[in-house]
Structure 1
Amino acid sequence: MKGSGALGNARGIDFQRLAQDFKGLNPNEPGTWPLAPRVAVFAGLLTLTLAAAWWFDWREQAETLKQREAEEVQLRQDWVAKKKEAVNLDEHKRQLAEIDRQFGALLKQLPNRAEMDSLLSDINQAGLGRGLQFELFKPGADQVKDFYAEMPIDVVVTGGYHDLGEFASDVARMPRIVTLNNVALEATKDGRLKLNAKAITYRYLDEEELARRRQAEKAAKGKKR
């Protein structure tokens, strides 16, 4: 039994019959067209409809969906991070308290302006107590930083090798922070050693100095504008 229409028979598609079906079609009476043209038109209309729907509607929805998926991933990551912070909140508080304690201990090692004379005297006495001879002990101008100031002191002192070493150790062990920088040693004619160094000590700024610094910074920002 043979199949009807141009779509095929038992052996395959009859391309001649298929071509004939597309000839002489009346556009005003598509209902009278053979099956093949009607299927082709329907497939074309369906394709155009799907393409139009994608371009004018579905494409934007797909982009929105992709954006929402990315936002969901980010929100999940933020949630996990905040959950970890919440779990470790007590540990963070403990660490913060420890940092505050350590900072307070370091701050106590910085003298205020009124205590600087006493500190300079302690450094001088540390050298004299070791039998050293000061050729120069000259404090310089303060170098103001964020909340503290550095005071450089040019030091030239002579004495024996071990005495100079003990002097450096005494300075390092002082309750106030004092550092020795740019250290240089040279031998003298009498066989002793001369130590050239720049000692630096630190002090914290009092409220008046901090207020002046804030005012100067505010004025500098105003000029930049």
Structure 2
Amino acid sequence: MKNVEINFSGLTRQFEGLNGRHPGLWPIAPKALLLSGVVAALVAAGWFAYWSGLNEELESAQAQEQTLKDEYTQKVAKAVNLDDLRRQKVLAEQYVGVLEKQLPSRAEMDALLSDINQAGVGRGATLQLFRPGSVELKKHYAELPIAVKVVGGFHDLASFSSDLANLPRIVTLNNITIEHKNGGNLEMSATAKTFRYLDKDEIAGQAAGGKK
């Protein structure tokens, strides 16, 4: 016990008076303790860096996994709806085809104007005004407004409007006003609009205008 007490006392004395002295001049015991602390700190720092790197890799992998899951879900949804989208595309193309057949060419416009004129005359109504306006060119078609004024009974005007709607070409009535006239008749003023294809020169002119 005496030897142990002496050795312990000697170790204790080695830690006295270290302040201000270079570690290289320290006794063996303080040097050993300092070295152990440095090694432990280095090991801890390395261990922390190792696990930090693993954690970052794990988070990156998890984020990538979620991205892949989202992409997969979107692709599956598109694949499921693909047949429906194809059917809708076919139906839309068919509908556009039907509408296009109702658009006359420039050469057919005179015949259409004659049909509109006859729609009023053939129903016993009096067509007091039939004045085609200026053609307005749109992106894919031309629009022709026609100022019309028809006088007749209620059923005459209704039949005139119905005949226009039943023409094989598209004709619409806009800006309709109706007034009472003498003798119980009605006077309907409106702008009838019909539409036609653009001819080659008009298409070329629009294309040239778009390039400016």
Normalising by structure 2, what TM-score?
Answer: 0.76
C-alpha change, 1:34 and 1:187, in structure 2 (3 Å) is same
How far, CA to CA, are the matches of 2:97 and 2:149 in structure 1?
33
SS in 2 for 1:24: coil
How far, CA to CA, are the matches of 2:80 and 2:98 in structure 1?
29
Aligned to 1:27: 23
How far, CA to CA, are the matches of 1:70 and 1:200 in structure 2?
59
| 1:190 counterpart (183, 187, 196) | 183
- Where do residues 193-212 of structure 1 align in structure 2 (5 Å cutoff)? 193-212=186-205
Unaligned runs of 5+ in 2: 5-13
C-alpha change, 1:37 and 1:194, in structure 2 (3 Å) is same
1:100 aligns with 2:93: yes
The Cα of 1:183 is off from its aligned counterpart by 0.5
The Cα of 1:77 is off from its aligned counterpart by 2.3
In the alignment, is the contact (CA less than 8 A) between 1:182 and 1:197 conserved in 2? yes
Aligned residues: 197
State the one-letter code of the partner of 1:138.
R
State the one-letter code of the partner of 2:18.
G
Aligned to 1:159: 152
State the one-letter code of the partner of 2:194.
T
Cα RMSD after superposing both structures: 3.4
How far, CA to CA, are the matches of 1:38 and 1:192 in structure 2?
117
How far, CA to CA, are the matches of 1:22 and 1:214 in structure 2?
98
Aligned to 2:128: 135
In the alignment, is the contact (CA less than 8 A) between 1:123 and 1:171 conserved in 2? yes
- Where do residues 70-149 of structure 1 align in structure 2 (5 Å cutoff)? 70-149=63-142
How far, CA to CA, are the matches of 2:27 and 2:204 in structure 1?
92
C-alpha change, 1:84 and 1:47, in structure 2 (3 Å) is same
In the alignment, is the contact (CA less than 8 A) between 1:136 and 1:156 conserved in 2? yes
Larger Rg: 2
> Deviations along 1:53-109, whole A, 9 cap, x unmatched?
48xx949x93x7655644443333233322333344344333222221111011101
Percent identical pairs in the alignment equals 43
In the alignment, is the contact (CA less than 8 A) between 1:133 and 1:159 conserved in 2? yes
The Cα of 1:146 is off from its aligned counterpart by 1.8
* Runs of 4+ in structure 1 over 4 Å off: 20-23, 34-51, 64-69
State the one-letter code of the partner of 2:101.
K
> Deviations along 1:21-51, whole A, 9 cap, x unmatched?
6972762258512987666555544555567
SS in 2 for 1:136: strand
C-alpha change, 1:95 and 1:66, in structure 2 (3 Å) is same
| 2:168 counterpart (169, 175, 192) | 175
Normalising by structure 1, what TM-score?
Answer: 0.72
In the alignment, is the contact (CA less than 8 A) between 1:138 and 1:153 conserved in 2? yes
How far, CA to CA, are the matches of 1:189 and 1:77 in structure 2?
73
State the one-letter code of the partner of 2:188.
L
